[in-house]
Amino acid sequence: MRFDEGETSSNVEDRRGMRAGFGGFGGLGGGGRIGGLGVGGLLVLMLLGYFMTGNPLGLLGGGGDPGDESGLTTQPAGGSNPSDPGAKFVSEVLKDTEKTWDQLFTAMNRSYSYPKLVLFDDQVNSACGFTSAAVGPFYCPGDHKVYIDLSFFRDLDQRFGAPGDFAQAYVVAHEVGHHVQNLLGEFDRAAQQRSSGASANAISVRQELQADCLAGVWGHYAAQRGRLDPGDLQEGLTAAAAIGDDRIQRQTQGQVTPETFTHGSSADRVNSFKQGFDTGQVSSCGISGR
């Protein structure tokens, strides 16, 4: 990817190296974490899930718990605008998503509220509870923040065969896509579906594929701005395929059980991302924006 202007977002919160401890649990918000893409420690969690719940994905649900009343807190955040290469790249991608969604929300006669992106190591506390890095990057609707442990990108490359900077950018854009869903009322609609008895897994899959599509919408405009290098699109598609439920299940349990999917198959994730990328239209993701 190309970020010739070197612009970074001012909405990065660096908590790396900060100790998670016990104390008063402040700021507990509504809604569970969304969009965990975890690879680091994923196999361990799946084995634990199998023995504890009978389902290898039992500990990896797309929504998570609405909060953790354990009293765990995270120490105050570190400085913003970190300068190390990995963090700088993530900040540049976040800035580029801000440009895209500013433009698209204006076209919908709306104002885009920027999410914060929190960098952390190993574990983190959010308005959605205390979370291990093993679940992967996630979005917490309770505080409008995206949480990423940068070691995920190493695992995405080495364990799942999805290298490249655009693969990493896709992950950031996917989580920002969940923020866009939140602002456009998709989480409220999902809650209504749950209350009507709809399948929680089916709702989760729909949310995740929609976020993939919204990541593709961002990619469409990033390409227009000249941000993409040859091969970048393929990197994004490879990353989407690498974290499909069917591929993960086949690797961890030797068989695929579609009824337990929470994020969608590899093919569905690729198709959703490409749908957004090809059209550049929020409406192509099943969102009216009204």
pLDDT of amino acid 77: 42
Domain assignment present for residue 120? The answer is yes
CA 112 to chain centre: 18
Angle at 279 between CA 278 and CA 285, to 5 degrees: 110
Q: What is the chain's pLDDT, residue by residue, as a tens digit (290 residues)?
A: 988 677 999 999 999 988 654 333 222 233 467 766 544 344 444 444 444 444 444 444 433 333 332 233 333 444 556 779 999 999 999 999 999 999 999 999 999 999 999 999 999 999 999 999 988 999 999 999 999 999 999 999 998 899 999 999 999 999 999 999 999 999 888 878 777 766 888 889 999 999 999 999 999 999 999 999 999 999 999 999 988 988 888 888 888 988 888 899 999 999 999 999 999 999 999 987 65
Angle at 28 between CA 26 and CA 33, to 5 degrees: 135
Residues 12 and 233: their CA atoms lie apart, in Å, by 25
Domain assignment present for residue 6? The answer is no
> What is the domain extent for residue 57?
12-282
Reading the block at residue 271, the tokens are 């198709």
Spatial neighbors of 262 by CB under 8 A, at least 6 apart, are 57, 60, 61, 62, 201, 204, 205, 208, 245
Domain assignment present for residue 217? The answer is yes
Q: What is the DSSP string of 69-119?
A: TT-EEEPPP--SS--SHHHHHHHHHHHHHHHHHHHHHHHTT--PPPPEEEE
Total of domains in the chain: 1
Of 119, 167, 186, 180, nearest to 269 (Cα)?
167
Domain assignment present for residue 216? The answer is yes
- Other CB atoms closer than 10 Å to residue 132's CB: what's the count? 16
Residue 128: strand, helix, or coil: coil
Of 221, 222, 224, 202, nearest to 268 (Cα)?
202
> Are 109 and 117 spatial neighbours (Cβ–Cβ below 8 Å)?
no
Reading the block at residue 198, the tokens are 């709809």
Domain assignment present for residue 229? The answer is yes
Residues 117 and 176: their CA atoms lie apart, in Å, by 9
74 backbone dihedrals φ, ψ, rounded to 5°: -110, 140
Residues 150 and 263: their CA atoms lie apart, in Å, by 21
pLDDT of amino acid 278: 97
